[in-house]
Amino acid sequence: MLKSETTPRPRRAARLLAALLLTAMPLLHAASVDLMPIPAKLAWTEGRLAVDGSLSVALKNHDDAQLRSTLTRALRRWEERTLLTFRRTDTAEFVLASDPSRAQLVIDCAAPAREIPMLGDDESYTLTVSAQQAVLSAPNTLGVLRGLETLLQLIQRDADGWFVPAVKIQDTPRFAWRGLMLDPCRHWMPMEVIKRNLDAMALVKLNVLHFHLTEDQGFRVESKTHPELHLQGSDGKFFTQDEIREIIRYAAERGIRVVPEFDMPGHATAWVVSHPELGSAPGPYVIERKWGIFDPVLDPTNEAVYKLLEDFLGEMAALFPDPYLHIGGDENNGKHWNANERIQQFIRDNDLENNEGIHAYFNRRVRDILIKHGKKMVGWDEILHPDLPQDAIVHSWRGREGLAAATAAGHATILSNGYYIDLCFPASDHYHNDPIPADSVLTPEQQKLVLGGEATMWAEWVTPETIDSRIWPRTAAIAERLWSPREVNDTRDMYRRLGYISRRLEEAGLNHERNRPAMIRRLAGDRATAEQIAALSLFIDLIEPVKEYHRGQHHHEHTQHTPLGRLADCARPESFVVREFSYRVGDFLSAPANARAELAADLEQQLTAWLDAAQVVTDFLKASPAELRAGAPVATNLHEVSGVGLAALDAINAGTKHPASWRTAQLATLEKAAKEHDALLLPMLGAIRELVNAASAP
């Protein structure tokens, strides 16, 4: 009989409740002040500026509607967080002080920003807070916007009320291109998803929305010149041009550029659904419902392709004001080109050598269209070719070698390799993925060509309900890497601050935590007990979805229409509970024997609660429908792993050592638990392994 089966139910439920409380505790450290991203220069000074409902605001120098709108949004967020009510009038959202010297908050803005932000705009600001006044100074309203986000994070409270600590900040971003790519093609993402993620981007000072709008699974933008594209290629789910204008306006108000992507010549199924004659193989074509690299590709030898692109890209160039337009250009497997003798003859007749040559030919033709309409070309790193026009930006996703090759050829670059947040890697992996690391092999001139980077949220395995949980809060770590100095790289401190930024994101309306309890209740069903739901919640806090592209190996039957609400969808990409547990294990093992008692008690409480929850969840899942039952082996493994951890902890506390044979047996148990089931894995195995090694003879 398993240990937990003999535990009285009230005591077991109490331990589950305690474990759920411990789940939240690591994310909050009330004694410290935390910012993300960390400013370029920061110095704490003596004092604090008290904040109450009498807050007075003054504007110096420049004053316009954009500045007032930015300030209004900031004050409303402070009100919602503090429950204070700032002064306002019937005609104004806030009261301006006539004398800046007497105001508590002074916004000193030298000039307006552009109506639509552009690459290279000045985003710098200074912020000085004393016991009497906070002064935010910036060369333009864009800098004010960035500085207000810092100020919004600074406010905190104690027994005496709300306040901002005294500080001096001089801040400017390290990289000019700091982006997030959203993909509404694989799974449709409506307007509210885009807007709330724009709010989150502004909060962590990201400044580019890379909008991936065409794909094998959907054509997501309205075309008035060729309406058949979106009408036949989208299942009726697309952004109208008015909605696109609204997104651009909404983004611009938050200092964010919108760069559209129309993927070509590959990933082209949605193009050729309505225009099979433009494909490189005979149609008909239908929208793809699964994921992968598909064969359909536009025919570079067909002049009708360029006629349609002339119409469409000209229309999109007028719709999207940013100078840059992304053409994709990735993952063309070449099968349809290879099978088309006419295309192969075109390659021979024009000395293009191979498929890479005709791809470069296509890119030059597209680039000429873009230049005609005032746009600059961006493409994934497959577009890199000796014939690639010098002004094209290469977006590197396959590796640092591609970034180095692009800069060596004189091309500006953007890094996304290492920032694929859809692959569910931990925030630390992204955090230490620097576009220009200290040991970079790039020359100083090549380094100047690295514009920055982008997190990429491909949407094969997300829906509007789950997408926020895959982006946030981990993308805040990427935002810091792209904004803050390279020397800001303390991983443990990053995780500590990530807990704070997660709360700020919730306050801004993000659903990365909000949706999970409802999803768990839905999974559990109407007849689940409170104890079962509590145990299932703890279990989900302790598991992670599989990494890289392994999910498709487990759920290969899934299509675009399959609901995504399984255990893997509820689990966070990274278990911050397990991360904190791992840190505590390290602290425990490195502490002197006479200083271990409190840490040992904490670890024992957690492991016992895990063991209890695992038994409850195992029994529950085994009696559930197949979609849930598939996760039962993971719960069983968690039970065994928790028992191993407790046995190791007991030996360490007693000062004894298990024999080597015990160690071998326990490591075998951990190895078995490492096997993936139902697209799930247990992330605490490394920490348990450390306990086993410490508890056994060499």
Residue 285 in any domain: the answer is no
Residue 299 in any domain: the answer is no
> For the segment 279-297, what is each residue's pLDDT rounded down to a tens digit?
999 999 999 999 999 999 9
pLDDT of residue 16: 59
Residue 447 in any domain: the answer is no
Q: Which helix (H) or strand (E) holds 167?
A: strand 161-171
The domain boundary residue, chosen from 137, 171, 205: 171
Place of tokens 């577009």: 383
User: Which residues, including other chains, have CB under 8 Å from residue 174's CB and lie 6 or more apart?
Assistant: 40, 482, 483, 484, 485, 486
Considering the domain architecture, whether residues 550 and 678 belong to the same structural domain is answered as yes
Residue 464 in any domain: the answer is no
> For the segment 248-269, what is each residue's pLDDT rounded down to a tens digit?
999 999 999 999 999 999 999 9
The domain boundary residue, chosen from 112, 136, 171: 171
Task: Please give the tally of structural domains in the chain.
Answer: 2
**What number is the average pLDDT over the span 425-431?**
98
pLDDT of residue 89: 75
Catalytic residues: 331
pLDDT of residue 28: 41
Beta carbons within 10 angstroms of residue 196's beta carbon: 18
Beta carbons of 459 and 213 less than 8 angstroms apart: no
Considering the domain architecture, whether residues 108 and 17 belong to the same structural domain is answered as no
pLDDT above 60: residue 611 = yes
Residue 526 in any domain: the answer is yes
> For the segment 578-588, what is each residue's pLDDT rounded down to a tens digit?
999 999 999 99
Considering the domain architecture, whether residues 104 and 72 belong to the same structural domain is answered as yes
pLDDT of residue 22: 52
Listed range (26-40, 97-111, 173-187, 623-637) with the worst mean pLDDT: 26-40
**What number is the average pLDDT over the span 380-388?**
93
pLDDT of residue 24: 45
pLDDT of residue 14: 56
Q: Report which of 328, 338, 331, 458 is spatially closest to residue 395, judged by C-alpha positions.
A: 328
DSSP state of 383: G
Q: How far apart are CA 392 and CA 513, in angstroms?
A: 39
> For the segment 327-339, what is each residue's pLDDT rounded down to a tens digit?
999 999 999 999 9
pLDDT of residue 27: 42
| Residue 18's pLDDT band (cuts 50, 70, 90) | low
> For the segment 174-233, what is each residue's pLDDT rounded down to a tens digit?
999 999 999 999 999 999 999 999 999 999 999 999 999 999 999 999 999 999 999 999
pLDDT of residue 15: 61
Considering the domain architecture, whether residues 14 and 163 belong to the same structural domain is answered as no
Beta strands in 420-519 (DSSP E): 450-457
pLDDT above 60: residue 676 = yes
Q: What Cα–Cα distance (Å) separates residue 633 from each residue in 554, 578, 618, 687?
A: 14, 19, 8, 20
Q: How far apart are CA 311 and CA 64, in angstroms?
A: 38
**What number is the average pLDDT over the span 45-66?**
94
- Token pair in block for residue 285: 């074509």
Q: Is 182 helix (H, G, I), strand (E, B) or coil?
A: strand
Length of the chain: 698
**What number is the average pLDDT over the span 165-172?**
97
Residue 368 in any domain: the answer is no
The domain boundary residue, chosen from 117, 150, 171: 171
Segments forming the whole domain that contains residue 559: 3-27+514-694
Residue 463 in any domain: the answer is no
Considering the domain architecture, whether residues 559 and 662 belong to the same structural domain is answered as yes
pLDDT above 60: residue 8 = no
pLDDT above 50: residue 151 = yes
Bridge partner list, 157: 162
Q: How much is the pTM?
A: 0.95
Q: Is 83 helix (H, G, I), strand (E, B) or coil?
A: coil
Considering the domain architecture, whether residues 90 and 11 belong to the same structural domain is answered as no
Considering the domain architecture, whether residues 19 and 67 belong to the same structural domain is answered as no
Considering the domain architecture, whether residues 11 and 142 belong to the same structural domain is answered as no
Residue 568 in any domain: the answer is yes
Calculate the average pLDDT of the chain: 94
pLDDT of residue 189: 98
Considering the domain architecture, whether residues 664 and 528 belong to the same structural domain is answered as yes
pLDDT of residue 2: 35
| Residue 93's pLDDT band (cuts 50, 70, 90) | confident
Considering the domain architecture, whether residues 553 and 653 belong to the same structural domain is answered as yes
> For the segment 345-381, what is each residue's pLDDT rounded down to a tens digit?
999 999 999 999 999 999 999 999 999 999 999 999 9
| Residue 3's pLDDT band (cuts 50, 70, 90) | very low
Q: What Cα–Cα distance (Å) separates residue 641 from each residue in 649, 659, 667, 672, 688?
A: 12, 19, 10, 10, 7
Q: Return the CATH number at 132.
A: 3.30.379.10
Q: How far is CA 458 from the centre of its chain?
A: 10
Considering the domain architecture, whether residues 8 and 52 belong to the same structural domain is answered as no
Considering the domain architecture, whether residues 20 and 92 belong to the same structural domain is answered as no
pLDDT of residue 458: 98
pLDDT above 80: residue 19 = no
